Chains A and B, each alone.
Chain A
Amino acid sequence: MDRRKFLRFTAGGTVGAAAVSAVYMAPFHKEPQKGPQRVEIPTTCEMCVNKCSVIAVVENGIIHKLNPNPANPRSRSMVCARGNAGLQQVYDPARLKRPLIRAGARGEGKWKPATWDEAFDFAAQKLTAIKEKYGPQATIWSSTESFQETFFKSLGLAFGSPNVERHPTLCLASVNLAYSLTFGTVPAFDLANAKYIIMSGANRLESFITPDTMDLIESAMEKKARLVYLDPRFTVTASKADEWYPIKPGTDAAFILAMINVITAENRYDKEFVSTYTVGFEQLAEYVKPFTPEWAEVETEIKAKDIVRIAREFSDAAPRAVYYAGRRSSWYRDDFQMRRAQAILNAIVGSWDRQGGMVPNQKIALGEVSYLPWDDPTAPRIEDMDKNFPLAAKGDGAYLKMRENVLAGVPYPVKGWMVHKQDPMNALPEQAKTLRVIDQMDFIGVIDVQMSDTAWYADVIFPESTYLERQDPVEVLSGMVPVVVYRQAAIKPLHDTKTTLEISQGLAKRLNLSQYFDYTIDQWIDAEVKELPLEAPLDYLKKHGVWVPPGGPKYGSTLTLEHRFITKSGKIELYSERLQEAGYDPLPKYTTPLQPPSGQYRLILGRRAYFTQANTTNNPWLNQFCPDNQLWIHPNSARDAGIADSELVEVASTVGAVKLKAHVTQEIRPDCVFMLHGYGKKSKWQRLVAGKGGADAEILETAWDKVSGGGAFHETFVKVRKA
């Protein structure tokens, strides 16, 4: 079968109003493009955040296949299901192909195709009007990780808005902050050399993070390490672990504090390490005395004798023993405390900067193009980070507090929303509130490759070229082995799309901000790579896609008496004065979590290896593995609720209700239910998942961790009944 047939096959489905169809159904390039018969172009994946190195096989101008590029020591010779399905993002007939301006009411799905000039003029006029009437701070710039994010952020800041809102508080803010406050940095975990690994819910064998997943595969599968896994759900990681404990949700910190209790009481900590590199051990040892394994058994439902044994095995294996940090740590209101407890546990057994332990990340310095700096925004962030989250990463913001303040108009009104590849409609809980934010906006502009639910409510849509059609800034992936990755275009853009730099420059020109964007992508990249110790660095990257500095992992660079950790004391802080001064607990505080009342269940979230957050469920090559999401529910709970497998159920919280099919399964605790993210979409262009299954965002309640500001997405109790 040739490529044309493949393309014909992918071009299907019709939805929406006439105005939609006109755009949606416009034919895309079915004829092979001009080009050599077969070329292989090394580039970088963008189907999730990992930035794996891939080789695009391009035949007659059409991308035939994305193969792994083993030169990258993080992704190695792996391309996951999403990476392989990247072709569908490019050749998706429902892609955003040209700028669109809203023609009906917001969310009605009526669009009129526009030229880039029209789209830029329209957006600039709206943004300027908001700036004149309310000031530049009256705009939110929602941004998410991508190689061109920097240009979008720069535009928001140059415009004068302090409100560049990034994704960490929907993801890993609590873990980052906890490790930063303990070690002065967020370390890597040397899973390849660890002998004992404990994971709380970080479902690394389904929620892929390189190189951790690759290392864990090797460690766990080849039995090089013992893997103890805590999760209310029987995930793939649970299925491959040596021990799986379906821990009572929200009690992980009790398990960890009891481990610290055992290790301190039995003198199993690394005395020399603790006395040389840490502060606060005495306070810690005193503090954990009440947290006995017997106490933790009641909290966690993990037997005291198992906690004792695991604590002993863990300390015996140290420093090749780690309690893995996890990535999306937006679970509970006290997530920060749990992550701090982990960090402290790892520290007292000396698993720091040693083989098989936690290791500070190495970086690679890149050069920078010189451009005119803009004045810092004069207004404070709308979340008032200094007052509400004094220790959190200020540049990232705090998404949920931001939304509350926008709705309240405190301390100032917000009327404009620019969104770069984020999908707040699905990424934030309590979708009804996000819709209220949308309602109060005078202007919403979205940059994306697909018609996300947020784009669906936008006033203007700027279609971005996909990652296989554009050249991006060079990026450093810091880690135990840092690498430089490069994304070059495998093919020319198929449609009338632009890069985020071009979009930012187009808007900047009309907002009189061009002076801050006086460079080209080539100049930007040239300046970056000039610093690399290579003779012709860009040629090297074009040929190989990735550059790995010689040397490999380094251990022990911080284990010298001269080294000063970036903390208040200059040491690893078991007890944190900084936390105390900011009004928080200097040692990790445990709060017994509320449990769902009878007849209700805790909604927990998680991942499958073939989906990235909410944005690949509409990819036909991935959607086929799960055409609609289902509510996982334990057989006993299903019986209590009077529902049978595959039956349609209503899942209701205090903020909303959704309907989806029940999946009655042994793979979950009886007091929890689970559903996949990215279904029940509003956007009709997401044809495979529009109105299919249920959107967790509609029923999740708003809650956040009070130290980091990170969302608490496992705090919602739901009622389940036959629909």
Chain B
Amino acid sequence: MAKASKRYALVIDSRKCLNCKACVVACRAENNVPLEFSRNWLNVELRGEYPRLLAISEPEQCHHCADPACVRVCPTGASFQRADGIVAINATECVGCRYCMIACPYNARFFRQDIGVVEKCDLCRKRVDRGEVPACVETCPSKVRVFGDINNPDSQVSQLLSRRQYRVKKPEAGTSPQIYYLL
């Protein structure tokens, strides 16, 4: 497997987001996320004054940073980064200390009291390992998220990033986040 050369990322075109919540429910189903938590979410904002209004809806989840603070602070190695860039948690090694939750600049993690571990988006790594895309990416009516390998110049994510302007959130945190928001 040539996995080592891969670096998965998400490119998000929020302009296309309908705030329809399909991604949130798809993630809940795929990852059995309890109702009080969510591994992904939508930042919704309304600007302006009637009738000059602008609605913004922006999906967010773990940024799968290239230099993940959560992994750095984890005392047990439960939080880890795969060779392909996916940041994940090994539940059996998580002691529930929650340092990672404090370290994460994006508030992407939550602590499950019932099983004593921290959880978050792992880009549906089981699906990815089967050659599928994450559930949130697949289910979306307007295909707001594009998932792919940014080390492959022919991938759709690379193509989008080469053609379009983009930003990342909180670059000052220095974690090199891998969700690219198209402008």
Q: Which residues of A contact B (CB under 8 A)?
A: 1-3, 5-6, 9, 64-68, 77-81, 83-85, 87, 205-206, 208, 213-214, 217, 221, 234, 236, 238-240, 244, 246, 609-610, 620-622, 624-625, 634, 665-670
Residues of chain B within 8 A (CB-CB) of A78 are 22, 139-141
Residues facing A in B19-77 (CB within 8 A) are 19-22, 24-26, 28-32, 34-35, 46, 48-51, 53-55
Q: Which residue of A lies closest to B15 (CB)?
A: A221
Residues of chain B within 8 A (CB-CB) of A205 are 18
Q: Which residue of A lies closest to B49 (CB)?
A: A666
A234 touches B53 (CB 8 A): yes
A81 touches B24 (CB 8 A): yes
A236 touches B19 (CB 8 A): yes
A463 to chain B, nearest CB (A): 24
C-alpha spacing A305/B96, complex, angstroms = 64
Residues of chain B within 8 A (CB-CB) of A84 are 22, 25-26, 28-29, 139
B22 to chain A, nearest CB (A): 5
Known: A68-B139, A666-B48. 18 other contacts (CB 8 A): A5-B114, A67-B138, A78-B141, A80-B20, A81-B24, A84-B25, A205-B18, A206-B20, A213-B141, A234-B53, A236-B20, A236-B55, A609-B19, A609-B21, A610-B20, A634-B50, A666-B49, A669-B50
C-alpha spacing A68/B133, complex, angstroms = 12
Q: Which of A239, A620, A622 contacts B55 (CB 8 A)?
A: A239
Q: Which residue of A lies closest to B51 (CB)?
A: A246
C-alpha spacing A214/B16, complex, angstroms = 12
Q: Which of A6, A236, A239, A666 contacts B32 (CB 8 A)?
A: A6
Residues of chain B within 8 A (CB-CB) of A239 are 53-55
Is residue B115 within 8 Å, beta carbon to beta carbon, of the partner chain?
A: yes
C-alpha spacing A185/B112, complex, angstroms = 56
Q: Which residue of A lies closest to B28 (CB)?
A: A621
Instruction: Decide: A80 near B55, CB < 8 A? Known: A205-B18, A236-B19.
Output: no
B32 touches A5 (CB 8 A): yes
B142 touches A621 (CB 8 A): no
A81 touches B50 (CB 8 A): no
Is residue B121 within 8 Å, beta carbon to beta carbon, of the partner chain?
A: no
Residues of chain A within 8 A (CB-CB) of B15 are 221
Is residue B87 within 8 Å, beta carbon to beta carbon, of the partner chain?
A: no
Which range contains the number of B residues in contact with the other chain? Answer: 20 to 34
Residues of chain B within 8 A (CB-CB) of A83 are 22, 139
B134 to chain A, nearest CB (A): 12
What would be 15 A-B contacts, judged by CB atoms less than 8 Å apart?
A: A5-B114, A9-B34, A65-B30, A67-B138, A87-B29, A205-B18, A214-B141, A217-B142, A234-B55, A236-B55, A239-B54, A240-B18, A666-B49, A668-B50, A669-B50
Q: Which residues of B contact A (CB under 8 A)?
A: 15-16, 18-22, 24-26, 28-32, 34-35, 46, 48-51, 53-55, 114-115, 135, 138-142
C-alpha spacing A625/B25, complex, angstroms = 10
B129 to chain A, nearest CB (A): 13
B109 to chain A, nearest CB (A): 15
B16 touches A217 (CB 8 A): yes
Residue among B34, B46, B50, B55 with the highest chain A CB neighbour number at 10 A: B50
B29 touches A66 (CB 8 A): yes
Instruction: Decide: A81 near B21, CB < 8 A? Known: A68-B139, A246-B50, A634-B50.
Output: yes
C-alpha spacing A466/B68, complex, angstroms = 44
The 7 closest A-B pairs by CB, nearest first: A609-B20, A239-B55, A84-B25, A81-B21, A666-B50, A6-B32, A78-B141
Residues of chain A within 8 A (CB-CB) of B49 are 666
Residues of chain A within 8 A (CB-CB) of B21 are 81, 609-610, 622, 625
Q: Which of A9, A64, A66, A213 contacts B35 (CB 8 A)?
A: A9
Q: Which residue of A lies closest to B119 (CB)?
A: A1
C-alpha spacing A79/B49, complex, angstroms = 33
C-alpha spacing A236/B46, complex, angstroms = 11
A96 to chain B, nearest CB (A): 22
A208 touches B54 (CB 8 A): no
Residues of chain B within 8 A (CB-CB) of A85 are 25, 29
A339 to chain B, nearest CB (A): 25
Residues of chain B within 8 A (CB-CB) of A610 are 20-21, 25
Residues of chain A within 8 A (CB-CB) of B53 are 234, 238-239, 244, 666-667
C-alpha spacing A625/B22, complex, angstroms = 11
A244 touches B51 (CB 8 A): yes
C-alpha spacing A2/B91, complex, angstroms = 13
C-alpha spacing A666/B30, complex, angstroms = 36
B35 touches A81 (CB 8 A): no
Q: Which of A236, A665, A669 contacts B18 (CB 8 A)?
A: A236
A79 touches B18 (CB 8 A): no
B26 touches A79 (CB 8 A): yes
Residue among B19, B25, B115, B142 with the highest chain A CB neighbour number at 10 A: B25
Instruction: Decide: A624 near B141, CB < 8 A? Known: A85-B25, A666-B48.
Output: no
Q: Which residue of B lies closest to A621 (CB)?
A: B25
Residues of chain A within 8 A (CB-CB) of B51 are 234, 244, 246
A224 to chain B, nearest CB (A): 13
Residues of chain B within 8 A (CB-CB) of A634 are 50
B46 touches A666 (CB 8 A): yes
Residues of chain B within 8 A (CB-CB) of A79 are 22, 26, 139
C-alpha spacing A81/B140, complex, angstroms = 9
B59 to chain A, nearest CB (A): 13
C-alpha spacing A83/B141, complex, angstroms = 12
B18 touches A65 (CB 8 A): no
C-alpha spacing A206/B57, complex, angstroms = 13
C-alpha spacing A246/B48, complex, angstroms = 15
B8 to chain A, nearest CB (A): 19
Residues of chain A within 8 A (CB-CB) of B55 are 234, 236, 239
Residues of chain A within 8 A (CB-CB) of B54 are 239
Q: Which residue of A lies closest to B47 (CB)?
A: A666
Q: Which residue of A lies closest to B48 (CB)?
A: A666
A90 to chain B, nearest CB (A): 12
A468 to chain B, nearest CB (A): 13
C-alpha spacing A621/B18, complex, angstroms = 18
C-alpha spacing A244/B51, complex, angstroms = 8
Residues of chain B within 8 A (CB-CB) of A5 are 32, 114-115
C-alpha spacing A611/B31, complex, angstroms = 22
Instruction: Decide: A77 near B138, CB < 8 A? Known: A84-B22, A625-B21.
Output: yes
Residues of chain A within 8 A (CB-CB) of B26 are 65, 79, 84
Q: Which of A81, A214, A667 contacts B46 (CB 8 A)?
A: A667
Residues of chain B within 8 A (CB-CB) of A665 are 46
B103 to chain A, nearest CB (A): 24
Residues of chain B within 8 A (CB-CB) of A240 are 18
Residues of chain A within 8 A (CB-CB) of B18 are 205-206, 217, 236, 240, 609
B26 to chain A, nearest CB (A): 5
B56 to chain A, nearest CB (A): 9
A81 touches B25 (CB 8 A): yes
Residues of chain A within 8 A (CB-CB) of B138 are 67-68, 77
Residues of chain A within 8 A (CB-CB) of B140 are 78
B182 to chain A, nearest CB (A): 12
A55 to chain B, nearest CB (A): 11
B50 touches A667 (CB 8 A): yes
Residues of chain B within 8 A (CB-CB) of A68 are 138-139
Q: Which residue of B lies closest to A635 (CB)?
A: B50
B62 to chain A, nearest CB (A): 17
Residue among A81, A621, A622 with the highest chain B CB neighbour number at 10 A: A81
C-alpha spacing A65/B54, complex, angstroms = 34
C-alpha spacing A214/B141, complex, angstroms = 7
C-alpha spacing A666/B29, complex, angstroms = 34
C-alpha spacing A666/B47, complex, angstroms = 9
Residue among A208, A217, A246, A669 with the highest chain B CB neighbour number at 10 A: A217
A621 touches B22 (CB 8 A): no
Instruction: Decide: A620 near B35, CB < 8 A? Known: A68-B139, A221-B16, A236-B55.
Output: yes
C-alpha spacing A609/B22, complex, angstroms = 9
A80 touches B32 (CB 8 A): no
B115 touches A1 (CB 8 A): yes
